[in-house]
Structure 1
Amino acid sequence: MLPKNSSNEATANRRALSLTSMYFNRFLLFRYVTAIFFFVNLYWAIVLFGSGSLVGLLPSILLLGTGGVMVEQVNKFWKQTNRLTFTRWFYWAQLIANLIVGLGVALGQLRVFYPFLNGTSLPWVLSMLGLGALISGFLEYRAFLIEHDKDRYVKHIQQFAANI
């Protein structure tokens, strides 16, 4: 049988780990959406470079941005901060890129940005770019709430921490 002190210490360690996990999970949506943007931008860059287009630099830059977001998100496990500096920068860049590409596509430049598509896919492309812009905007809003401790999840964390 373990000494009583050891049991209390184990319980405290479990609660501390639970609190750390709760802080880390506060950013879970960012990690999932960043993974989606990573693979979309990766595929887009591969296809553009495969067709010899220098426009492939745009998704490549966005790929570097997703890498930075991933590093910042992994650091959230060890550093319990609500600062999302690089994450916010990336989602602004993704939002602006989606809007610029959407405008270019709407103005007849579909073949520049998507040389593998034809005009019949224009509504689909515009809707996907619009969805990407909406998601980026939503994540910017979520990041703002988190940075100002106005998200719902922080209240659960504070209640749990108060009961430890």
Structure 2
Amino acid sequence: MNTPLESQLKLHKKVSLTNLYFNRFLAVRYATAFFLFINLYWAVFLMGSFSIAIVLPIMLIILATLTSFEQIKLYRNHKNHLRYASLFYQIMLISIIALIVSIFTPLFHFFFPFLKNSQEAINILLGIMLTSLVFTILILIKLKKIERNEDKHFKRIQAYQEIIN
């Protein structure tokens, strides 16, 4: 029969493992929150400009929200492949590349009607877009590594499991 101390230790080990698996996706959660708010602000500005381009940030907000709910579910049900997160970041990658190209075309005013087409605005947008592009690529790489159990966090989890068993 298990003593209360043994039961408590067993529960602690289980919770620790659950937290370790959940934290594999910490960078994905933070990046998703970052993109959710960036797209939210962009949608608000587009709403004020009465632009039909609002469809893009709203679609990205919906996907980011689905990604967030998928992340929340990970606490109870660990899995390596996150369907919505992968889809969200692939669409973000395509969107960012398209937006970078649009900055240098007449589509600038379609996607950013609230900004003046000046070199300063272009430089700021380009900085934001390139930073977002780097984050998106890094998260896609991280998701692929997690899916194949090649991430550093998984190796730490395995080492921890060896110690506690």
**2:12 match:** 14
Q: Which runs of 5+ in 2 are unaligned?
A: none
Q: For 1:121-140, list aligned pairs within 5 A.
A: 121-140=121-140
Does the aligned pair in 2 maintain the 1:110–1:122 contact within 8 Å? no
For 1:142, give the aligned amino acid: K
Q: Which has the higher contact order (CA 8 A, sep 6+)?
A: 2
Match of 1:149, SS state, is coil
Which residue number in structure 1 is paired with residue 162 of structure 2? Answer: 162
Distance in 2 between the 1:113 and 1:24 partners?
36
Conservation of the 8 A alpha-carbon contact between 1:48 and 1:55: yes
* Poorly superposed stretches of 4+, deviation over 6 Å: none
Aligned to 1:149: 149
Letter in 2 for 1:97: S
For residue 55 of structure 1, what is the amino acid of its counterpart? Answer: A
After superposition, the C-alpha distances for 1:58-82 in whole angstroms (9 at most, x for unaligned) are: 0000000101100110011011111
- Pairs aligned (count): 162
State how far apart, in whole Å, the 2-side matches of 1:72 and 1:106 are.
Answer: 36
Out of 71, 74, 77, the position equivalent to 2:72 is 74
Q: Which moved more, 1:116-125 or 1:84-93?
A: 116-125
In structure 1, stretches of 5+ residues that fail to align are none
Quick one: which of 30, 33, 38 aligns to 2:31? 33
What SS does the aligned partner of 1:78 have?
coil
Q: Distance in 2 between matches of 1:132 and 1:106?
A: 18
Moved more, 56-65 or 114-123: 114-123
Q: Percent of aligned positions with the same letter in both sequences?
A: 29
TM-score, normalised to structure 1's length?
Answer: 0.94
CA distance in 1, matches of 2:114, 2:2: 68
Kept in 2: contact 1:95–1:136 (CA 8 A): yes
Shift of 1:31: 0.6
Query: Residue 77 of structure 1: SS of its match in structure 2?
Result: coil
Q: After TM superposition, give the deviation of residue 110 of structure 1 in Å.
A: 2.1
What's the CA shift for 1:109?
Answer: 2.6
Kindly indicate whether residue 14 of structure 2 is the aligned counterpart of residue 5 of structure 1: no
Instruction: Name the residue aligned to 2:95.
Output: 97
Aligned-partner SS, 1:129: helix
Amino acid at match of 2:29: R
Helix, strand or coil for the counterpart of 2:53? helix
TM-score (norm 2): 0.94
Match for residue 50 of structure 1? 48
Tell me the amino acid that sits aligned with residue 60 of structure 1.
Answer: I
